[in-house]
Amino acid sequence: MGVSTSLPQDGVAVVSVDFPPVNALPVAGWYELARALREAGQDPAVRVVVLEAPGRGFNAGVDIKEIQRDPGPQALIGANRGCAEAFAAVYECQVPVIAAVQGFCLGGGIGLVGNADAVVASEDATFGLPELDRGALGAATHLARLVPPHLMRPLYYTGRTVTAQELYRHGSVWRVVPRAALRDAALELAGEIAAKDGYLLRLAKEAINGIDPVDVRRSYRFEQGFTFEANLAGVSDAHRDAFVTTGQNATQHGGGR
């Protein structure tokens, strides 16, 4: 359980995330993941990182139960900062990062995948942001990197998911394969990239990030401010409590002030 790193082939590091039962990460888990990604990228022998999360699904977001157990705001603040660090660690990793996604990829999973350099997905993979149903806002920044704006918005507002095949049609998933072939497919792409000159790959990663039209770290932190506002307004707790106790969504709140 936790985050581990392996070196299965020349120039390739695999960072594996394992937080049963659904890979909903606690605060410490997000920071642990960020450290592993940064350390892998700093290793001069590594030219590509594969991010995987074997289990029922790739990622179910933050551990809402951990947040609800805290009578104060510290767990929420920790989750906000931990997610921001993990997402940034993917984006700022000195070498390309390939996300290998199976099953569900929700909430924080979108933040990780949306910041990756490439995505390989299993046929059963689904992607979505149920943030509004959990009393939160965030990762629209990253969903917007996977789908066009006028698809991102209704997906965000409704909490609906899209399949790996749909993302493949939009060009944001490199390849869709059976679940049993996912790791091999990710390593195949990683091996092709790792065959390039490591120094040039690091320059290429920095150059490509430098021409991005959106500062993803700043954009995401801006979104997170509204999550904290919803929490201060007393709206978020009702949604999180409903999810923790029943798995269902809370009743709606009015939009007026």
Instruction: Note whether 183 and 100 are within 8 A (CB).
Output: yes
Q: With a cut of 60, say whether residue 39 has pLDDT above it.
A: yes
Q: With a cut of 70, say whether residue 54 has pLDDT above it.
A: yes
Instruction: Note whether 105 and 126 are within 8 A (CB).
Output: yes
More confident residue, 11 or 1: 11
Q: With a cut of 70, say whether residue 247 has pLDDT above it.
A: no
**Direct distance between the N- and C-terminal alpha carbons of the chain, in angstroms, rounded to an integer:** 44
Note the pTM of the prediction, 2 decimals: 0.93
The pairing of beta strand 104-106 with beta strand 118-122: unpaired
Instruction: Note whether 113 and 127 are within 8 A (CB).
Output: yes
- Please, what is the average pLDDT of the chain? 93
Which strands, in side-by-side order, build the sheet including 104-106?
104-106, 126-128, 161-163
Q: With a cut of 80, say whether residue 249 has pLDDT above it.
A: no
Per-residue pLDDT at 255 = 37
Per-residue pLDDT at 256 = 34
- pLDDT, tens only, 24-33: 999 999 999 9
- Residues 226-246, mean pLDDT to the nearest whole number: 85
